[in-house]
Structure 1
Amino acid sequence: MTTIVNLAETVFEPGLTAAEAESRMVAVGLRPDAERRRGRGAGLNFSGRFEMKTREVFDDGWNTIDDLPPFKTEVQVEKPRTIITRNDSPDISFDRSINPYRGCEHGCIYCFARPSHGYMGLSAGVDFEARLFAKPDAARLLERELSKPGYKVQPIAIGTNTDPYQPIEKEWRVMRQILEVLEAANHPVGIVTKSAMVTRDIDILSRMADKGLARVALSITTLDRKLARAMEPRAATPPKRLQAARELSDAGIPVSVMAAPMIPGLNDHELERILDSAKAAGATSAGYILLRLPHEVSPLFRDWLLRHYPDRYRHVMSLIRSMRGGKYYDAEFGKRMRGAGPYAWQISRRFEMAVERLDLKRRKASMRTDLFVPPRGEGVQLSLL
């Protein structure tokens, strides 16, 4: 049976013009109405790749499509049994992480976490941005896991899959509760975000930073507000992220900048400017990641590129393939973050020269693990003796 992802791939055959691709997507029902998806990054909403059946929207002549309401953000409660996720990837600097939410309202079109919505039977497209899951029990679960006798302390990464400070955090405050548990236990934490909301928790983060237990990385993809608006529609503007970096740094919290992802032919020319601006805002270390297009992210990104920058489509995709061995994506460890080939090497060398000139560290300073005190709060298993 042909999956919807394969169906989406057919509209991006080599040689198609933007108009031809648009016509095909409308014909097969992949394109929701523009008014319905206004304010969202994705232009498609195909079925999840694990679904047995696919769905298509089409006009049956009764004019019912025009009556469909806009996509609104819906939040469901998820009740996981554990909250700390483990990984043993050799090219990732952490072995554990926490995701307070599933899905992300920021709507970044390039987000490599989009395919994870397929595990919930939902689309990596608009569903990923509009149908979210919150984990209100996260703090209680974290207390329980940190209190286990065999627990060995290593920094916990937060924001590695979806942003912990996305807009729904204002209401749910799951991230705030997690930080309260980590602070009470003197547990080290590293945060990655592209939201200025992180400054809300400066009180906790500054106290933890004084003990060598916290650091924050601001993801800054571009300084072009027009590009940021199209590519990351509900994330903080670039100036607000830089202002957040300044406020965090002034509070004594180590700040790093992540120029990620770098998209060849679209934003890679900004690499040095991003690092310069971050250094001026107080960043002390930096990193970058090349654009990744796993699974459904590939047709979603290519559709977005055709809609917003049709004149650059062939050039950008050609450069991407040149860095991925002729493919849109190569998941091999050691290559997935940086790519390969002359153009990838050029970006890497430019980054190295910029961080050396700006005296930015490529590796973040280690955090303390010797201050950890296991929780003894509500929901924690008490010892027998």
Structure 2
Amino acid sequence: MVKRKAAAAPDAGAGHCSKRLKTTKTSTKGSPPFFWNPNHWELEKKITDGVSIQKRKATRGQLVVKKILEMLAKHEDDEDQDHRPIEIRAVTSLPKNNRVIQPLFYALATPNSSHATAIYPFFPLGDLEEWKQRAFDSKNKKPVPESHIWRLFLQLSQALAFIQGVLGPDHSAHTPLLHRDIKPANVLVASNGTTYPSFRLHDFGVAGEYQRRSRTEAQCELRCGTFEWQPPENPRINTAAADIWSLGALVHFLAVGQAPLGLLAPYIRAQVAAHGNQHPPGVADYETPLRYYAARVPRVVTPINLSRADQRARGLAPRQNSDLALYVHQYSDELNRWMAKCLESMARRRPSADRLVRGMGTVARGMLKKMGGQPALTDIDIEYE
């Protein structure tokens, strides 16, 4: 995936940070505070250079996720500047709830003065892509049940409405945020004791403060996040509507098996040919040519309510990609309609997170009850500590 860091930090959660190592421990409702001592843990699995799964030495089976985060640069003329990592500033400014993942612990200036350490709970089911691959793709490309998709749709709509400051116990208690990097890897799947999983938003590493901006301000370019999961107006993604498109892209991914994009390789060949066998001039604004093309390839939305005959008639199937099922499973008209609303090419036509919670949420609850009864409605409400 093509991802870039944010160029500027959000203003959310500002506060004083001393020069001494600062630690913060947190606790979940009904559980004691979590204490981190590196000597009591050992490496279980390395995920990336900065992310690993750690196992407690004295307790078999207890796992956590350790992240090394880059702290913000210090300015000599501003001793009170909050130089905590963007992710820590963002998530710790939010009230605790069951839709956004908070760190169990974080420490500044460790392992060195320019980095911080954050400890997060471990989710055995993995992120959205891992879960889909393990539970469905690897099992003869089984379709994801519609009930699961409705649950993701509603729960992440609640998460967006919450971080944007339109849902929650006290709207004025925290600075509204934009996530700006919603994609399968940043959604974790949680077991809740039923066959209907829950979904939680994670990784606020490029989050930014959300303000209702003028039309001119909304047109400002911002190249951060993962371009394949961003709307057609990117790099103008500093809006709530951009996060809504990315949510629709997750629904599309679960139903279709891929992001709502056109084919990248033919697009690159066509662009290079159109510019005299050279990359277009705009490539210079991106770190690599691939980042440019991932941002610019046309967004293509596949309907998810078509029969196999209709898919063949439209030339959508059988699909030639061996990683995908020959046909897209036929989902309900209701799910297709709400997905399409989120994936509108024009940002102003997309529903707000609040409208999704209230409008789509009502439809989702009805569909879930019809499909699975009360168990399908487990953990369907956002709750706060």
For the superposition of Structure 1 and Structure 2, which TM-score range results when normalised by the shorter chain? under 0.3
Q: What TM-score, normalized by structure 1, do the two folds share?
A: 0.24
Q: What TM-score, normalized by structure 2, do the two folds share?
A: 0.24
